[in-house]
Amino acid sequence: MTVYSGHLYKMHTQDDQPVRYQLELGDQMITMNDLLGKKIRLNFSGTINCSHCGRKTKKSYSQGYCYPCFTKLARCDTCIMSPEKCHFHAGTCREPEWGEQFCFQDHIVYLANSSGLKVGITRETQIPTRWMDQGAMTALPILRVKTRLQSGLVEDAIRKHTSDRTNWRNMLKGVYEEIDLLAERDRLLALCADDLQKLQEEHGVDAIYTLPDAQPFVFSYPVLEHPTKVSTHNLDKTPEVEGVLKGIKGQYLILDTGVINIRKYGSYLVELEASE
């Protein structure tokens, strides 16, 4: 039995066939694909340390922060989840310097199929990581914009006509329909043409433009067996979780005893035991 110890954070992904996952615990990088078919055990120590300031906290907020950091950091503000609510221009950004670096860079508006068609946004530097973190089977960049606010406004226009959510249970069960993302892009852009033109008139034609030559990304995941029924492990209620690792998809470990979202338990100090 090999034992690793450290704080949980989202798994690192590498665009491979299938996607390659590594879990960083302490100073060790564990290639989780190598543990497929083996029995593993996660044991939560009860200790949570803020990923920003390091202080001990009883609860992890926004996937890894203590409450004081959650209330003062710009990366924990509501506009991160809802970028159309960006208030930088009002002079009320929690961290203007951080906002300038994070929010004023090119963002991509995309379509993806994890459990059905959805629209989303991501920084251009997060392609294709964002899609692997979501467990997307296919994804297609459709527009490039100059700021995070603009990406949120564009997404807001498109989600009038399609979902912006992933059905994570169906994603884990491997339930999805084949979708022609190129055809869906053309359909949605036609439906949103007036809204997009208004945004271009307001922000500039060079600030929001389509990506007609983009082609779909295709992903596969290291899954030996999809669950037919999804039950979740909760480290807060059951600090010790064990089972045979049947697959990895998105940021979930799929065990024969249930699934666990690694990203949800950011900053939790755990031990991971893996059978040889």
Counting every residue written for the chain, the total comes to: 276
Report the distance separating Cα 268 and Cα 265, nearest Å. Answer: 6
- What was the pLDDT predicted at 176? 86
- What was the pLDDT predicted at 198? 97
Reported as a single tens digit per residue, the pLDDT across 155-213 is: 999 999 999 999 999 999 999 899 999 999 999 999 999 999 999 999 999 999 999 99
Instruction: Give the chain's residues under pLDDT 50.
Output: none
Is residue 142 a contact partner of residue 110, using CB atoms and an 8 Å limit?
A: yes
Q: What is the DSSP string of 109-142?
A: EEEEESSSEEEEEEEGGGTTHHHHHHT-SEEEEE
What's the distance, Cα to Cα, between the start and end of the chain in Å?
Answer: 6
Report the distance separating Cα 44 and Cα 29, nearest Å. Answer: 18
Residue 10 CA: distances (Å) to CA of 6, 15, 24, 133 = 13, 16, 8, 9
pTM of the model: 0.94
Report the distance separating Cα 94 and Cα 89, nearest Å. Answer: 12
Please state the three-class secondary structure of 230-275 as a single string. Answer: CCECCCCCCCEEEEEEEEEECCEEEECCEEEEHHHHCCEEEEEEEC
Q: Which of 82, 63, 15, 54 is nearest to 221 (CA)?
A: 15
- What was the pLDDT predicted at 101? 95
